[in-house]
Structure formats: C-alpha cells, structure tokens
Amino acid sequence: MQKQNLTQASQELFRRSPDERFESLEALVHHCGRQKEESADRWYLPQDVVTCPEDGPLMLQIGNDGAFAMNDWSFSQLCRLAGVSRDTVNRLSSQTADLVFRETLPAGQKPLQLLTQDDTVRSIHALTYTRLWNADLLYLTQEFATDFRPPQKADGGGTGLYAGEQDLFCFLIDPTGWAEIEGEAFAPGFFVFNSEVGRRSVGISTFWFEKVCANHIVWDAVEVEHVSRKHTTNVHEALAAIRRTLEKLVEKRDQRRDGFVHRIKRAMETKLGSDIEEVQRLLITWDVGRALANKALEIARQKGAFTIWSVVDALTRLAAEHRNAGDRVEADQKAAAILDMAAV
C-alpha cells in the first residue's frame, strides 16, 4: 500500500486572499450560481474589439455593447492575444497602451468570445474554447457527495473552499467515513477544481487519507485517482466522468464502512472463552505475555464478558502505557491480530 502526501489544498490555502474563501459549501454554491446568472457571453469579430483610453485604467470597447473594464485575468489574455508583454504594457500610460494594442491586436473572420459580468470583462477566448460553469460542477458535487464536508479550518482562516476571478477549488472530506484498509484507518476525501475563464482544467482527485494537518496537507493518502478535462468541445462530458468518480468513492466508502461496522459487531458478540482461565491460555498461545494477559483480562472482566472486542480494547489501552514506541507498536499489532478473528 503506497502512501502519498497531497499538497494541492495547502498550496491553495496560501495563495488565496480572504475574499476568495467561503465558510460553507452552500455559500460557495450561492456565489458561483449568482456569478453564472450575472455573466454573459458576447461574440464579436476581433476587429470589433478595441481598446479605448480613459482617465483611469484602459477600457475595452466591445462592438456596440459599450466600454468594459478588464480584470487582471482578462487583461493578461488581451496581452497574449496581441502578442505583447503584460509587464511592459503595465508601465505605459492608457493612451500609449491603447496605441500599442491598436497596432498589435489581430483581425479575422473567426469571432472572439468575451465573458462579461456587469461592466467588467472576465475572460477573452477564441472560438475553440468551451465553458463549463463552476456552479454546474458544484451542483453535481452537492448531489452526489451529500455526506462530505470541508476539513477543519486551517491556520490563517483557510477553509478549503475557494473561488476567485480565475478559478475554483473545493476540498471536502467525510468525517464519519472512517474505514479500515490493510489494518489502518482511513477516511475518504476529494478535490474538485475548475475555471470558467480558462485558467485551469476541470477535474476531480479522490483519495483515502489518514490525517489532514493545520496547513491542509493531506497525509498518507492511498488509492489516489485523478480525472481532468480541458475546456474543449467535449468538456461537458467531464461532469459525467466526475459523477461516476464520486459515485465510485461513495460506494466504496459505504462498503468499507458497513464491513467495518459488521466486523466490530461480530467482535462485540464473539466470546473468546467461558472463563478467565480459558481466555488466559488462549492469549498466551497467541504470544501475549502472561502479565499483559492478566491485566487485559482484569479490564475486560469489568465489561461483563470476555468478547474479542473487550479483550482487544483492553490490550489497546495497555499498549498506550508503554514508554517505548517499539513496545507500543508490538502490542497494537497483537491486538489487531486478535481483532482479525472477527472477520473470519
């Protein structure tokens, strides 16, 4: 079982400003839904999209629709379209920058698609770009991952739920989905991500993890799977692929959780013996020392019956008392071996 430490959520944590953080999935969905409703695509030939100098920042005249402001992302796209350095243009006055763009912006017969919200251009794309809305991805996530929640709030206030002018990132876990994989406890989680303005692909990463730290690093993740699509003609097929991936994760979670619950139930019902002497002899044959066995059985006696669960619970408690880490691990392994009997 190969483990990985996943740093994507931690990277998002440290690059997001406070206004890009959301306290709940519902708040993030509401924001993205409103953004979708307020945004509009405008299709114009390149020669009908020109810059216009103002007293303040450079504006973009879109055909007869009027002049629009640009945000950081759409301005960068305009510079790439014109083939000029953004850093250079930023050092110019609005009037000089306007002259640069009028000389360098291309003309042609294939329209550009410009996404606007209110009086701002959010993105500029060629004909081949196909948009997938953040809201549509989140609606699917809400529908098929109903028990998943954001992780604990990170140091500095990061929530795992982010949306800015360029992209979306959502980190969710199931805090009740703990299950056993090869003798170790893991819980399911996933990242979903998208950009409706072309900043990144759309996709999902699912995994089972042991711990999420205060910096949102996912420690010791296993069964890591990735699905992603570029924003081309068939990008909406990504939603079906993401839905199948989420359904697979949830199905496996339910199977493992149900199996774990069944195993614990059997352990709580199955007796190791009818009296303390019989159970003591059995533990000794399993290489549990006599002194440790006696202590464990005294604790188990207080629970009323020498079941697999009461004995394993007692051994686990006693293991925690060992000062030496090697002794603790050895004691835990013996307890785990006894618990495995419940699966037989």
DSSP string, 103-141: HHS---SSPEEEEEETTEEEEEE-TT-----HHHHHHHH
Q: Does residue 16 fall inside a structural domain?
A: yes
Q: Does residue 312 fall inside a structural domain?
A: yes
- The verdict on 164 and 244 lying in the same domain is yes
Confidence of residue 85 (pLDDT cuts 50, 70, 90): very high
Residue where a domain terminates, one of 60, 75, 109: 109
pLDDT exceeds 90 at position 139: yes
- Lowest-confidence range among 25-34, 170-179, 272-281? 272-281
User: Count of CB atoms within 10 A of residue 11's CB?
Assistant: 14
- The verdict on 52 and 30 lying in the same domain is no
pLDDT exceeds 80 at position 227: yes
- The verdict on 296 and 162 lying in the same domain is no
The amino acid sitting at 209 is F
pTM: 0.77
- The verdict on 192 and 88 lying in the same domain is no
- The verdict on 10 and 148 lying in the same domain is yes
Q: Are 51 and 62 in contact (CB under 8 A)?
A: no
Q: Does residue 172 fall inside a structural domain?
A: yes
Count: domains in the chain: 3
- The verdict on 82 and 179 lying in the same domain is no
- The verdict on 181 and 150 lying in the same domain is yes
Residue where a domain terminates, one of 258, 287, 315: 258
- The verdict on 217 and 309 lying in the same domain is no
Q: Does residue 330 fall inside a structural domain?
A: yes
Q: Tell me the β-bridge partners of 51.
A: 60
Mean of pLDDT values over 277-296: 77
Q: Are 306 and 333 in contact (CB under 8 A)?
A: no
pLDDT exceeds 90 at position 300: no
- The verdict on 31 and 56 lying in the same domain is no
Domain that holds residue 97: 46-109
Over the chain, what is the mean pLDDT? 88
- Lowest-confidence range among 1-5, 26-30, 112-116, 215-219? 1-5
